Amino acid sequence: MEGNSSDLEGGTTNMNGLSLNSYSSGLQTQLQRDLDRQHLLSDRPRAGIYENVISEGIEGMEHQERYERLLRRAQVEDLTEVSGIGCLYQSGVDRLGRPVIVFCGKWFPAQNLDLEKALLYLIKLLDPIVKGDYVIAYFHTLTSTSNYPSLHWLREVYSVLPYKYKKNLKAFYIVHPTFWTKMMTWWFTTFMAPAIKAKVHSLPGVEHLYSAITKDQLEIPAYITEYDMATNGLHYFNPVPTAS
């Protein structure tokens, strides 16, 4: 375990009394299902390939229509319930001029939030941005199991978002990672999004971000910087500008 060991302290519960072992058991079950599904797909005969192509084309059209319906809803519905939390927002640009999207895991009340509205807000915020290149900085700082969305919801979100979201995402930074984020990242990039695997970077501290994003372009809550200083100290990394 590295990073936020406090949310795993005691081995089985977090500050809210939720069972981490129970959550891990569900994760392991989902991982096994995906492995079994992958084996079945690899063993499936190649006959009927043209029918499969047609079927996938129709399915793609249905996904696009669904996204457009969600986009229309996102533009007219009241989403202040989500926007007021402040867990997802744009914060300046990186060294290459690409918009930086910040997501603060600690402020995402996954168990007490209308997740459909959360998806609508995500679409409303990102749709005009993902027409070009962009990057995401996810801060896992001081999160607990109450902040973790279900695997089903993550799968649903990824399937709804069209190709431009994946294509134009140039980097996904995970700051203050833990065992949970490493497990989720492995599962997600193995079964859902292998194309973005090289774009995901786990960083032990905020200052590592400064190689890609200057400090004045990164607006983050005080609790993140306070935790970072308490854990890593001051001036622990000398950033070298990078084009990643």
Q: Please tell me which residue, 101 or 32, carries the higher pLDDT value.
A: 101
Q: Please tell me which residue, 204 or 40, carries the higher pLDDT value.
A: 204
Average pLDDT over residues 8-20: 41
Q: What per-residue confidence (pLDDT) applies to 133?
A: 98
Region of residue 240 (left: phi > 0; alpha: psi -120 to 50; beta: else): beta
Q: Please answer whether residues 91 and 219 qualify as being in contact, where contact means their C-beta atoms are separated by less than 8 angstroms.
A: yes
Q: What per-residue confidence (pLDDT) applies to 23?
A: 52
CATH architecture of 62-230: 3-Layer(aba) Sandwich (3.40)
Averaged confidence pLDDT in the chain = 82
Q: What is the pLDDT of residues 170-206, one digit of tens each?
A: 999 999 999 888 888 888 888 878 888 899 999 999 9
Residues 6+ apart with CB under 8 A from 160: 63, 66, 67, 70, 119
Q: What are the backbone angles phi and psi of residue 135, rounded to the nearest 5°?
A: -135, 155
Residue 227 has, within 13 A of its CA and on its CB side, a CA count of 21
d(CA 107, CA 86): 7
Average pLDDT over residues 204-222: 96
**What's the residue count for the chain?**
244
Q: What per-residue confidence (pLDDT) applies to 32?
A: 59
d(CA 114, CA 136): 22
Inter-CA distances, 96 with 88, 197, 208, Å: 21, 21, 16
